[in-house]
Amino acid sequence: MLQGARLTTWELHKKGIEVTAICDNMAASLMRQGKINLVIAGADRIAANGDTANKIGTYGLAVLANYHRIPFYIAAPASTFDLTIKTGNDIPIEQRDPKEVSELFFEKPIIAKGIKIYNPAFDVTPSGLITAIITDKGVIRQPYKENIIRTLKDSLRGSKV
């Protein structure tokens, strides 16, 4: 729920990094105008093949970046990898409270009673749309299956990764 606006911008600003917040719906237009030259997103879970689950909307940004030939990176610690999950299709996706969509930021509900609300917290970005995965153990590039294990080999010993 607005994590980029509430948390990510604050963290970047505190580190002295210039940051500009935009609405999600602006990304395509700004990419078309050449105002975005790379995209970095986080990940909540990364599968063995490099597919990543992150906050909803990440997949759409990856598709847009790919279309506009803009590099799309994932930045996540080694602990985010779960090699027991083969692909992103196997990552469970949490359904959030429908009230987040219908009334959380409004004085009155904005959606009529009886209307179904679909509110997944995450989406999955296929590894083919990811330029590289930046981790605390190094940068991982295609082919992900081999390079994830090679880069994280020391982290894998005796862990659930």
Q: Active-site residue numbers?
A: 44
* SS3 label, residue 123: strand
Query: Are 134 and 74 contacting, i.e. CB atoms less than 8 angstroms apart?
Result: yes
Give residue 70's region: left, alpha or beta (phi > 0; psi -120 to 50).
Answer: beta
Classify strands 72-75 and 132-135 as parallel, antiparallel or unpaired.
parallel
> Which residue type sits at 146?
E
The C-alpha angle 119, 123, 124, rounded to 5 degrees, equals 160
Question: Hey, CA dihedral for 75, 122, 129, 37, is it positive or negative?
Answer: negative
Residues in the chain: 161
Beta-carbon contacts of residue 2 (< 8 Å; ≥ 6 apart): none
Query: Which helix (H) or strand (E) covers residue 53, if one does?
Result: strand 52-55
